[in-house]
Amino acid sequence: MNILVAIDLTESSQIVVRQVKKLAKALPVKFWLLHVANSDHDLLLAAAHFDEVAFKQEVGEIKDTTAKNFQNEHLLLQQFEHELRSTGIDCNALLIEGEITDTILKEVARLSADIVMLGSQGKGVVDRFLLGSTSESILHKSSIPVLIIPTHDPN
């Protein structure tokens, strides 16, 4: 069985990884940890329309910041992979740049995943309206079962 586990590398990812450990004890599973890195390309394009001079000056800074963010995200993802592998769990980590929902669904298909697993921070109605909900979007668009792990404080 293949399970794709999408994590955002926030503190809530620890909760999701704990659930991975529980599942691994109960089932023979290959886990794929996936973090989708958002690029600043859309931000760069939007900035270009508003202030072309500032845009040109800051492109280098934005690229440097993006590269540092990718490097930090890669290190965090490797730590999660190492944590799981050190307990004997079959796991590989993937860091892919792209739009979150589409990238997760493409990886589900590419890896022939049987289940997609992700955390949900329990955003309110306004947040979901303004930002969307990755877990909700995956749930509606996925052709395979989706396991959503609540990662918010219920109090």
Report the CATH number that the domain containing residue 28 is assigned in CATH.
3.40.50.620
d(CA 150, CA 13): 11
The verdict on residue 57 lying in a domain is no
d(CA 71, CA 51): 29
The verdict on residue 91 lying in a domain is yes
pLDDT computed for residue 129 by the predictor: 45
The verdict on residue 45 lying in a domain is no
The verdict on residue 51 lying in a domain is no
pLDDT beneath 70, residues of the chain: 39-57, 122-132, 153-155
The verdict on residue 56 lying in a domain is no
- Coil vs helix vs strand at 123: coil
pLDDT computed for residue 136 by the predictor: 87
Instruction: State which residues form the domain around 75.
Output: 7-39+67-150
What φ, ψ does residue 131 adopt, rounded to 5°? -105, -20
Number of domains in the chain: 1
pTM for this entry: 0.79
The verdict on residue 111 lying in a domain is yes
- Cα angle vertex 120, ends 117, 123, to 5°? 160
Residue 6, H or E segment? strand 2-6
pLDDT computed for residue 131 by the predictor: 42
The verdict on residue 131 lying in a domain is yes
